[in-house]
Chains A and B, each alone.
Chain A
Amino acid sequence: MAKVTIPIGPQHPALKEPASFNITLDGEKIVHMTLKLGYNHRGIEKAAESRTYIQNIYLLERVCGICSHSHSSCYVQCVEDIAALEVPKRALYIRSLVGELERLHSHLLWLGVAGHEVGFDTLLMYTWRDREIVMDLLSMLTGNRVNYGINTIGGVRRDITKDQIKDILVAVDKLEEETKYYAQVATQEVTLAKRLSRVGKLSHEDAVKLGAVGPTARASNVDRDIRRDDPYAAYGEISFKVITDNHNDVYGRTLVRIGELLESYNMIRQIVKNIPDGPITVKAPRRIPVGEAVSRCEAPRGEDMHYIKSNGSDKPERVKVRAPTLANVQAVAKMLENGYLADVPIVIAAIDPCFSCTDRTTIAVKDGKKTRGLIEWKDLRKYSIEWYKKNEGIDLSKIKLQNEK
């Protein structure tokens, strides 16, 4: 039978974000895959060079909408290293608390997406319902559901109260009960377990060779976690297990994430129990001395890395970001090898990809003034009509949309 190449993406119903996979098939079997990324690239690293260190916290937090706290933590840790700032312990505990809450909402989100990708939308409804509890906690603690804005150079911007701690403990108990149920569902619900097993195989050797990180690597028995190996924030003072699994497939990745959820509940309890009193920030200089620093954080999707070089001014010389998806996406081709076309959505979803992170997007917000980079819906439509006319010879200009009549 002749081999067929199918393009999936950059826009495709099975993908939630733009990426392009060219998949060569022999029948239903995948023989080869090539990847094209970069559809979300808007130049955050370049933009960071023309903003001050303080402005950059908020820019880099927006690298990702899910692991925003990991990015801002990674960034401020670099700056604090160069400026030799001693961050108060209470601030470090708050950073870890928000970091673990972020892991909860991210892993619950993933569990729902995994359910959706294999046609088990009830799981999506359940986990996303529970995820709202975490979003409410984050909103209570930081004022925001998504980009928390809690980190600043030298500490955190908001303190935590005794009442908030009570609310957190009640919520965590409820979430733990629900997660134990999901652990049962994943292991005992035969249809789900069978659908995820032996799909997207990644051997231990390949995971190491291809530089996989986070739950993707840990499900191939790579015992690596930055929280334990290179402790930051308050992780050096919290006891926890690093969850690994040796199934080497999507089922293993599911078990690792559920295990990490259960571990996070215990970590949150320890954090709020042991949080020391004291200030939440130290004064940071506006100008950062000449130097360079590397920082790594264990984001929900895996290891996030930032490198900063400073030149003595109030703006960085260079900011480099390596988000976990860029490290994991290279393993996807290996996972799909000898797999089946029908498994493509769940295998891609199983690394918990975040292409905005990978490509580092920035989004312009309309503020009343003309903002470069902001494009109105009708202008976007006009642009696409012209593009198709010029490049594909298709004239769509006669078709009017309802709101344009």
Chain B
Amino acid sequence: MSKEQDIQKQFMNKFDFLEGKFKIVKNKRIFLDVPIDKFWKVMGYAVKIDQFPLLCTITGLDQGDTIGLVYHLAANDGMMLNIETSIPKNNPVIRTITDIYPSATLYERELEDLLGVKVEGLPAGRRYPLPDDWPIGDHPLLKDWKPKN
């Protein structure tokens, strides 16, 4: 059994709702699609098995009615586990993961600025990466956003 399949089995033994949600696209690349209500269980487990010490970044995607989020986790041996979930665009709220990965602060601020995601529990601090006088509610990575001039 390959290492990728081994990780898949580990998760499947714990969570049967992940049936068909795994994609091993190539060597060292696993994508895992998790519904938002089960996201914390799966994320908590990914942290608990202690194989993925590095959070590479968080990608936000405008998917029409939903905002997609991809948490790119990496292991020391180069294995990447990409945990995907989505939240409704009209109420894009997600809890912070800074308590697990302190390095997530700037990645979560990016989600707030560029896609209008509300990250609950994110420690106070200066915004990133848009300027301080950028209009409230203006999120440039949303698909319907166009430059003003």
A residues at B contact (CB < 8 Å)? 34-39, 41, 43, 45-46, 81, 208-211, 223-224, 226, 228-230, 291-294, 296, 303, 305, 307, 309, 317-318, 320, 322, 326-327, 329-330, 359, 372
**Chain B residues, CB < 8 A from A372:** 149
State how many angstroms separate the Cβ of A40 from the closest Cβ of chain B.
8
A296 to B56, CA, bound (A): 9
A161 to B105, CA, bound (A): 47
By the criterion of a CB under 8 Å from any partner CB, how many residues of chain B are at the interface? 39
Q: Please pick, from B72, B78, B103, the residue contacting A307 in the complex, using a CB distance under 8 A.
A: B72
A81 touches B56 (CB 8 A): no
**Chain A residues, CB < 8 A from B55:** 211
Tell me whether chain A's interface is mostly helix, strand or loop, or mixed.
Answer: mixed
A37 to B106, CA, bound (A): 10
Q: Please pick, from A229, A296, A309, A317, the residue contacting B76 in the complex, using a CB distance under 8 A.
A: A229
Check: B34 CB closer than 8 A to any chain A CB: no
B127 touches A320 (CB 8 A): no
Please report which residues of chain B, range 66-114, place their CB below 8 angstroms from some CB of chain A when the two chains form the complex: 70, 72, 74, 76-78, 80, 82, 101-103, 105-107, 114
B residues at A contact (CB < 8 Å)? 25-26, 28-29, 31, 53-57, 59, 61-62, 70, 72, 74, 76-78, 80, 82, 101-103, 105-107, 114, 125-131, 140-141, 145, 149
Closest to B129 in A: A38
Can you offer 27 A-B residue contacts whose CB atoms are under 8 A? A36-B126, A38-B127, A38-B128, A38-B131, A41-B130, A41-B131, A45-B114, A45-B141, A210-B103, A211-B55, A211-B101, A211-B103, A226-B78, A229-B76, A230-B78, A230-B80, A296-B80, A305-B72, A307-B70, A307-B72, A320-B57, A320-B59, A322-B56, A322-B72, A322-B107, A326-B57, A330-B102
19 other A-B residue contacts (CB within 8 Å) besides A38-B129, A211-B102, A223-B76: A34-B125, A35-B126, A38-B131, A45-B114, A45-B141, A210-B103, A226-B78, A228-B78, A230-B28, A292-B31, A293-B29, A294-B56, A294-B80, A296-B74, A296-B80, A307-B59, A307-B72, A318-B62, A329-B106
